[in-house]
């Protein structure tokens, strides 16, 4: 291999030692580092890695190394309805603002995703948006983004009690952490199920990863358990975890139905899992929407289709395209000199609860219409529309960190970041809440403002 590094070469040894010294490698030794480089076709020579490290001094001051580079999305995987919509929206939003973009398939593998991230740092990359397969990798990725002068954003997955403020020692390129109101939304969806089955009967759940520090699974799981406590005649019989995968979810649903044949409702961790759950119900000789009622989450295309045809009772419409549009707008704004205040570095949005009664307008905008027209990325921008920006969702700053990791104990010696505490003391969270409320101007279930702007 032309770029393979030979440890016997003293010059390469010195170069590698220099990289290991400057990067926080968390125990990665020289031999493993060499193997990683040698096995990566795009990395490359050590020169590429050294070039990334060479950007670090400018990055510490908050500078972005390449303002004309690509925007990258590190996707969990390329399979699943949610991931496809997330990726297509990222490309579309980038195109609308004139940025090059790339979407990488993480193949549900943390090692693959880590390698992809490291390769991006050696290339002309301006910004990276992550949906992490291993939440525990987030602190390292944020640190390396700061050191390399690459803007960074993450959604859903984060180690428990880790926030953007914790990354500030090396800079503020970890812009914002995004997560919708999973606990509240799933609680409301489970209420819909409970009422529909007359507040009695057996209910089971097909979850994601557990035990896990995946915030979405933590919130959604606890929402089901806590909500069903309100209904003494409902028996929560059990749950199996299927990694958000449709095939595994089908098997999990079949197993649960075999063990609990009187089940009247199944809560799936998301709409991709619900795809498998519905198949599992049908394989068991039962009719989804008649014998067994299904709850999903995310408002993905297949979930909305099933809500309309009656095979799924309800989903939480947080819209897979939205975090991509929001993130691209924020990257754009950072390049134009805007920075979020401390209270704006965590962002949540309230999902719509989608049933057959309101699924039609949701489908018209987010399923039938082109995904690039579902939101107006320029209207989301704080620099394109400083006075009349429109969040296009009911957004809020996440101040209640307990709500992100409900029931998850703080790590030993946990300390709230000073920037977070100062934002509380100064009333900044309250001011941002009021600002966001004033700038939610295009209802989620109304027509897209993008189409209005193009008319």
**Tens-place pLDDT, residues 229-261:** 999 999 999 999 998 999 999 999 999 999 999
pLDDT > 90? residue 406: no
pLDDT > 80? residue 39: no
Within a domain: 2: no
Q: What value, to the nearest 5°, has the Cα angle with vertex 318 and ends 320 and 279?
A: 70
pLDDT at 211: 73
Mean pLDDT score of the chain, rounded to an integer?
88
Please write the tens of the pLDDT for every residue from 370-393.
Answer: 999 999 999 999 999 999 999 999
**Residue 173 and residue 261 in one domain:** no
Number of domains in the chain: 3
pLDDT > 70? residue 121: yes
**Residue 276 and residue 372 in one domain:** no
Q: Which of 247, 255, 345, 353 is nearest to 299 (CA)?
A: 353
pLDDT at 28: 40
**Residue 345 and residue 311 in one domain:** no
Q: What value, to the nearest 5°, has the Cα angle with vertex 350 and ends 345 and 353?
A: 155
SS3 (DSSP) at 43:
coil
**Residue 386 and residue 442 in one domain:** yes
pLDDT > 50? residue 53: no
**Residue 334 and residue 310 in one domain:** no
384 CB neighbour count, 10 Å cutoff: 17
**Residue 203 and residue 311 in one domain:** yes
Within a domain: 168: yes
Position with higher pLDDT, 48 vs 437? 437
pLDDT at 216: 86
**Residue 311 and residue 329 in one domain:** no
Sign of CA pseudo-dihedral 240, 244, 250, 253: positive
Mean pLDDT of 57-83: 84
Within a domain: 49: yes
Which position has the token pair 């069903």?
A: 228
Strand-pair category, 352-354 with 315-317: antiparallel
pLDDT > 60? residue 127: yes
**Residue 353 and residue 436 in one domain:** yes
Q: How far apart are CA 183 and CA 295, in angstroms?
A: 14
DSSP per residue, 242-292: -TT-HHHHHHHHHHHHHH-TTEEEEEESSHHHHHHHHHHHHHTT--BTTTB
**pTM, full prediction:** 0.86
Within a domain: 435: yes
pLDDT band, residue 408 (cuts 50/70/90) = confident
As separate numbers, helices (DSSP H) first and strands (DSSP E) second, the chain gives 19, 13
**Residue 324 and residue 447 in one domain:** yes
- Domain boundary residue, one of 298, 317, 336: 317
pLDDT > 60? residue 22: no
**Residue 302 and residue 346 in one domain:** no
- Domain boundary residue, one of 286, 317, 348: 317
Q: How far apart are CA 71 and CA 121, in angstroms?
A: 12
The domain in which residue 301 lies consists of 182-317
pLDDT at 26: 31
């Amino acid at each position: 291999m032309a770029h393979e590094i030979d440890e016997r070469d003293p010059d390469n040894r010195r170069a590698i030692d220099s990289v290991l010294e400057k990067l926080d490698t968390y125990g990665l030794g020289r031999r493993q580092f060499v193997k990683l480089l040698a096995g990566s076709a795009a990395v490359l020579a050590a020169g590429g890695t050294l070039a990334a490290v060479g950007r670090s001094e400018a990055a510490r001051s908050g500078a972005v190394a390449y303002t004309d580079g690509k925007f990258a999305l590190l996707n969990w995987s390329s399979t699943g309805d949610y991931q496809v919509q997330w990726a297509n929206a990222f490309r579309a939003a980038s195109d609308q603002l004139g940025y090059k973009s790339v979407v990488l398939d993480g193949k549900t593998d943390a090692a693959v995703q880590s390698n992809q991230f490291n390769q991006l740092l050696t290339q002309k990359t301006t910004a990276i948006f992550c949906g992490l397969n291993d939440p525990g990798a987030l602190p390292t990725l944020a640190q390396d983004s700061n050191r390399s002068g690459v803007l960074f954003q993450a959604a859903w997955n984060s180690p428990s009690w880790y926030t953007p403020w914790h990354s500030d020692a090396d800079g503020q390129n970890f812009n914002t952490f995004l997560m919708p109101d999973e606990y509240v939304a799933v609680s409301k969806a489970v209420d819909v199920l409970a009422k529909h089955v007359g507040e009695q009967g057996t209910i089971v759940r097909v979850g994601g990863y557990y035990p896990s520090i995946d915030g979405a699974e933590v919130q959604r799981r606890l929402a089901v358990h806590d909500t069903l406590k309100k209904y003494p005649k409902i028996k929560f019989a059990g749950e199996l975890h299927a990694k958000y995968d449709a095939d595994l979810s089908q098997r999990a649903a079949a197993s649960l139905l075999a063990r609990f044949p009187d089940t009247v409702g199944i809560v799936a961790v998301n709409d991709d899992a619900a795809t498998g759950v519905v198949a599992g119900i049908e394989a068991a000789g039962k009719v989804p929407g008649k014998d067994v009622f299904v709850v999903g989450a995310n408002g993905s295309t297949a979930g909305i289709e099933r809500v309309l045809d009656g095979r799924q009772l309800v989903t939480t419409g947080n819209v897979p395209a939205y975090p991509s549009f929001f993130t691209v707008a924020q990257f754009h704004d950072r390049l134009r000199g805007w920075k979020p205040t401390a209270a704006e570095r965590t962002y949540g949005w309230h999902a719509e609860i989608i049933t057959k009664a309101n699924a039609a307008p949701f489908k018209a905008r987010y399923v039938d219409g082109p995904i690039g027209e579902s939101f107006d990325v320029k209207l989301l921008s704080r620099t394109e529309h400083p006075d009349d920006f429109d969040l296009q969702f009911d957004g809020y700053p996440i101040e209640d960190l307990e709500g992100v990791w409900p029931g998850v104990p703080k790590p030993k010696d946990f300390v709230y970041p000073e920037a977070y505490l100062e934002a509380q003391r100064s009333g900044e969270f309250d001011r941002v809440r009021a600002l966001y409320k004033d700038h939610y101007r295009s209802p989620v279930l109304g027509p897209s403002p993008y189409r209005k702007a193009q008319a």
